[in-house]
Structure 1
């Protein structure tokens, strides 16, 4: 058996060994039953002419014991498989939750979902079904060879010769097996990914390419899968069928009959009959081990992928464990000469950024696309850590705060409004499951979501569908804002929180947010400059650097980058479709 899966299977290794031991004992019991049947069959022919019933009764007991042990082995292995599945999924979920969000995004949700679902399921199948069969496939041939040797070495040599020929042919059939198994699994994964992409992107597919390009990717994945199967069949098809024929019972039976006739087996009918009964199982018992090779290889690949995810480094801390004596004394946010780049030193997202956001104030971040605004939010939420400098809350470095402690301080509302399958009320109370309906409704009113919720068929109990598909973008955004408001965190980070709101709802939403921002440290990122006109301080970023800072009127009067952004914003608001209006293209570049 490949050793690759075992490190990941460590939590249930003891249970697996018990299941394999039971399966091995089951094989020994079945073999004992065959020997007893042979002894019973020839006993009336012996000199004493003893009764065959006692050995037959013992054989029946061995048969029942073999059946009971086999059932117990599979029961034990299935319990181990279910326990392993629970342990691995809990461990993976906890570990992924502790990883930097940037690293999670790099790995990708599809890859992580495959590891947590498909790879864990593959190990479940391996533990539940393969381990007892593998034990039987090892114990049965070995025990049969020993029994034949005790009966007559010629019977053992003949049966082993047939098994050896079949094994050599099978090994030839499985040449390059590991590479073919990897190619087979990769081709299957490509087909699955293509199907998922085709279904999930159906609106885009129907709008742009009517399925030609996306379905073409699916077709190419199927063709690659078919090519792998054909290659595998051509390389091993004939040899595999030949090995199956050789390792079938009849060739071994014929050889043992010939050996018995040639060697005087009629003079020892008991040994000859016993050899015929148990010898045919020697070669055949080896087939499960060969057939299980694919499952073992797949389990090894799945275990390796699970181990890779578990080996990912979690969020680091400075100087070891959190020093609770240095917990934040207030909610003042400071960026101190912070620099960060996405793996490219020549293209830093932010460089030497320093600013302070005081409690009870709103600090707005603006700038052209790619200026580093969302990177600031990601660093503050500790989705990533700075490459240089540090970020503090109340004088405490973020890296000295546990994820739970940071989550208790900071509430987030991002442009990508993600809703979970469930009701609207469930999504609002996600961070506070014990919140009553009065609290949920108050948060929804503040987020200007109550009115549209009330007209839905089931109100707050209305299911939102997968990822909130039944709601509009603006409605999903307001529900996520209500969720953040219900948490009542002292620090609030809004990254394009009103991106999907129309002008009327945006004004109402900002009015509700303004009332709830009082006393909080608020960081807001917006492309619509009208939403941050009343901010206490506006930070203007350009190519990752802070180029201006101050209130709106002061920045407009300075006639710098912010003033140009503001004029572009005003032109965009006044723009209308008509022959007399010309878009100079600058507004889209500036904001």
Structure 2
């Protein structure tokens, strides 16, 4: 809360001023009654005017406190979300993927909102919750020592019981929030997976997860209730106004009957003592709110504590050409990814339990010369996509170096590096804006003629022109209004428009049907012309003419060469090729009765 701490303190000071005026109003009520009783024919104008002024002043200060706390909360919300977004934008891209969209969105939206609510609504209440009892106690001691001690004895007993209630509140609160998040995650999963659910298990599996999460949530609530039902009710009853009033009535009445108590002082003590009890009661609800807010604060701090990639002073080193060189590169995901943020969701990429024992890459060295096509092949999990993602520094290598244009990628600024490399991934992403704006991503000032030329080269112009609004048609959230092949061709058009010298293709045609695949191959041919291409491929038939093929196996570069050379070695590549040939000859056999 440091960026807006001045505004918060001012709001709390206003709340404290309002509390002081409230106590003064109660005292003035007593003095006004005393004046009316002692001199019934003389109207106490001064006291009544003071009472009216203090009452209105207390109301105005309270409203002003909440107004300033809300202003501070809005400023804090904007500052935190901007800071979080800026920090995430400078995290290693691989770490962002590991954290996952769900975690990050929850922290930026829900946790920042929780802190906003606390600052806006609770900081004035916190000030009042502490200031009002202190001011009331000082006034009570000034009025009458025995009555002050009696008024304090009741809340002290209540606080003692409350302390017993809250001794395990942190642990229970964490269990409660975790159970709530499990329910929310299960609901989202159940709704998002509805087509699959209805097709395969009629909801028994996914709804069962939701039901188990709900039952766990119910159990946590019951345990909480059982552990606190008597003590919390008893402490709430003691901290209410009635017990304090009862004690003050008995003691004050006894003293008044024995002529040791002034009536106006007794009335003032009754009113202020009731206000004391009323002011203490909100502390319990504030305690729970503070504990809940601290959990959100912890998650925000964990995101902001994520280490950034080491900054390179501008302008950094510049590449000399479009070559890509790996020099004895080793990399382990376990070291790079780090822990997830507790309670913020499920990471986007769930690794296997034994991955920490097997480095993703081990002592990998190769050179992709400018203007050549290098294919990366191998079994699943062999390290192909890891190679592709180390080029733009999704992560930094554990050992060795990655050079682009003869320069270590760690010595280039992020902007310089990204100006060298374009990507077409297997998973496409389009924004919920126009198709033209999606193609312009990275080149926002590109003229429309260049956008159309890129779309033509990507074999996308015809289907875009057939849409209701052409290039101004909105793609929908994540491109939902377009087919998978159409989305892929738009991402290819985006890469063509960027026209960067190095191109990384990560199985760009993996999920395409035959007709779309033909269009995608023509689009990729236009995109690859004259560029240094690194292509991750599973369909070996598509990379027979590559200038070199790198064969990976268990994180190591097992073989390297051209298609014909690798087949003659009868190694890993030959085995993969034969498996592909066998799969291509497979056909559905229908038994005949």
SS at match of 1:165: helix
| Other-structure match for 1:584 | none
1:152-171 alignment to 2 at 5 Å? 152-171=144-163
Most deviating of 145-154 and 160-169: 160-169
- Aligned-residue offset at 1:208: 2.0
Establish whether residue 236 from structure 1 lines up as the match of residue 228 from structure 2: yes
Q: Secondary structure at the match of 1:364?
A: strand
Unaligned runs of 5+ in 1: 1-8, 581-591
Q: Tell me which of 485, 491, 501 is aligned to 2:512.
A: 501
Q: Report the Cα distance in structure 1 between the residues aligned to 2:543 and 2:232, rounded to whole angstroms.
A: 72
Residue in 2 that maps onto 1:144: 136
From 332, 337, 341, give the equivalent of 2:332: 341
Q: TM-score, normalised on structure 1?
A: 0.91
Match of 1:360 among 359, 371, 377: 371
Pair 1:66–1:394, CA change in 2 (3 A): same
Gaps of 5+ in 2: 335-354
Query: Which residue number corresponds to residue 307 of structure 2?
Result: 313
1:57 aligns with 2:49: yes
1:5 is matched with which residue?
none
Partner of 1:330: 321
1:551 to 1:412, Cα distance in 2 relative to 1, 3 A: same
Asked if residue 250 in structure 1 is aligned to residue 261 in structure 2, the reply is no
Aligned-partner Cα distance in 1 for 2:111–2:290: 13
The aligned residue for residue 201 of structure 2 is 209
Q: Does 1:32 align with 2:50?
A: no
Segment of structure 1 superposing worse, 402-411 or 80-89: 402-411
Match of 2:383 in 1: 372
Match of 1:586 in 2: none
Aligned ranges 1:459-538 → 2 under 5 Å? 459-538=470-549
Per-residue CA deviations over 1:497-553 (Å, capped at 9, x if unaligned) read 112223333233223322332332211111122332332222222332323333334
**3-state secondary structure, aligned to 2:503:** strand
**Residues of 2 paired with 1:245 and 1:543: CA distance?**
67
Q: Residue in 1 aligned with 2:410?
A: 399
Q: Find the aligned partners of 1:142 and 1:544 in 2 and give their Cα distance.
A: 67
Shift in CA distance, 25/436, structure 1 to aligned 2, threshold 3 Å? same
Q: Distance in 1 between matches of 2:333 and 2:167?
A: 44
Query: How many residue pairs were aligned?
Result: 569
* Paired position in structure 2 for 1:270: 264
* 1:387 to partner: Cα distance: 1.5
Give 1:466 shift: 2.6
When residues 408 and 456 of structure 1 are mapped into structure 2, their CA distance, relative to the original with a 3 A threshold, is same
Q: CA RMSD in A?
A: 2.2
What residue number does 1:300 align with? 294
Q: TM-score, normalised by structure 2?
A: 0.91
Q: Distance in 1 between matches of 2:37 and 2:579?
A: 109
CA contact (8 A) 1:481 1:497 kept: no
- Checking the alignment, whether the CA contact within 8 Å between 1:537 and 1:550 is kept in structure 2 is yes
Which residue of the partner structure matches residue 66 of structure 1?
58
Which one of 109, 121, 125 corresponds to residue 129 of structure 1? 121
CA contact under 8 A between 1:477 and 1:497: conserved in structure 2? yes
Tell me by how many angstroms 1:288 deviates: 1.2
Distance 2:242 2:78 in 1: 45
For 1:42 and 1:533, the matched residues in 2 are separated by 104
1:77–1:127 contact (8 Å) kept in structure 2? yes
Report SS of the residue matched to 2:482: coil
Structure 2 counterpart of 1:548: 559
| Matched-pair contact (CA < 8 Å) for 2:317–2:412 | no
Residue by residue over 1:323-358, the C-alpha shift from the partner in whole angstroms, topping out at 9 and shown as x without a partner, is 746321222111111122333564232222111112
The Cα offsets for residues 98-117 of structure 1, whole Å up to 9 and x where unpaired, read as 22233233333322222122
- Measured in 2, the distance between the counterparts of 1:457 and 1:576 equals 41
CA displacement at 1:412 relative to structure 2: 1.2
Does the aligned pair in 1 maintain the 2:314–2:413 contact within 8 Å? no
CA distance in structure 1 between the aligned counterparts of 2:142 and 2:112, rounded to whole angstroms: 45
Change (3 A) 1:564 1:257: closer
Deviating more after overlay: 43-52 vs 472-481:
43-52
Quick one: distance in 2 between partners of 1:85 and 1:372? Answer: 41
2:441 aligned to 416, 430, 445, which one?
430
Matched residue SS, 1:492:
strand
Could you tell me how far 1:239 is from its partner in structure 2? 2.2
Q: Does 1:290 align with 2:281?
A: no
Tell me, yes or no, if the aligned pair for 2:550 and 2:561 is still in contact at 8 Å.
yes
